[in-house]
A and B are shown apart, each in its own frame.
Chain A
């Protein structure tokens, strides 16, 4: 089926984006953070309640692997979460 191939290719694109290209992503503050810096309310941001994989980086010495594996992990966590919840909700 053509549809299955599309899904596989989209997943592959996700893995390439999250696992390879993500390393080269800009680490500058994003639009919202920049505005918060300019307007001086960035300090009101509090620490996150969770500390599993902060900043999309695993605690590895190799910085490429740290980002790459975090991205791939994220893709599988997202995929698994959505698929499992769907399966639970619809049967």
Chain B
């Protein structure tokens, strides 16, 4: 779903670029804050252990660096995994293919803001190094796959999750449904931007949605496969509650 330059008008592309840049700054600040909050928590735990000294502050820095190092490696790994999976175009119907987007997967593993930052960076690498997706419409691509699919998908997921029984099965069913919805929603926004630009008529909506309804099935499958593997060894945000519930 990578828009090339030319599909969107200057006004639409420019507006989206500005909007995406703004969200990126906000999300990056949010993520940075989260990492420093982890330091504050560690500090509190260390202070409880005993008085605060130079030795303990050294210990704190070391502990914090080790903890965030792992988290940074996870973010970079998830980014490169999404990059690689986006290369795998699968055929959906005659002469058409689709590929994984990964917005919801990233959001369910890393949280909405970090997922946004990671997917924005993946899209930037694809645009600059692989000529996939235009430079002026990068804002549009980041908006569709980052804001709509990742952040939007995450909050929709959380909204429903808070209202259903928290079991492992429900987690995966909901993740699959939301993965599908996130792709269809992203394609709807993509169609809306194209329509707003005056590139084509309103029939672009039904066309985009019908293809992406099929692509979304692939998205759902890959998303739950990766989540199922990761849930065995890594503490994923929502599934922790499900595990506690089933004890």
* Interface residues of A, Cβ cutoff 8 Å to B: 1-7, 9-11, 13-15, 17-19, 21-22, 25-32, 34-36, 38-41, 44-56, 70-71, 73-83, 85-87, 89-90
Contact = CB atoms under 8 A, between A and B. Distances in A.
B130 A53 contact: yes
Interface string B203-236: 1100110011001000000000010011001100
Contacts of A25: 87-90, 97, 99
Q: How large is the interface on B (under 10, 10 to 19, 20 to 34, 35 or more residues)?
A: 35 or more
A82 B127 CA distance: 15
A52 B131 contact: yes
Contact of B207 (A11, A28, A39, A85): A39
Contact of B3 (A3, A32, A52, A70): A32
Contacts of A83: 72-73, 75-76
A27 B89 contact: yes
A87 B2 CA distance: 28
A79 B126 CA distance: 12
A63 to B, nearest CB: 15
A30 B2 CA distance: 9
Contacts, number: 214
A48 B81 contact: no
A75 B89 contact: no
A36 to B, nearest CB: 7
Contacts of B134: 45-46, 48-49
Nearest to B71: A86
A26 B89 contact: yes
A30 B126 CA distance: 16
A39 B203 contact: yes
A11 B80 CA distance: 7
A36 B7 CA distance: 9
B211 A14 contact: no
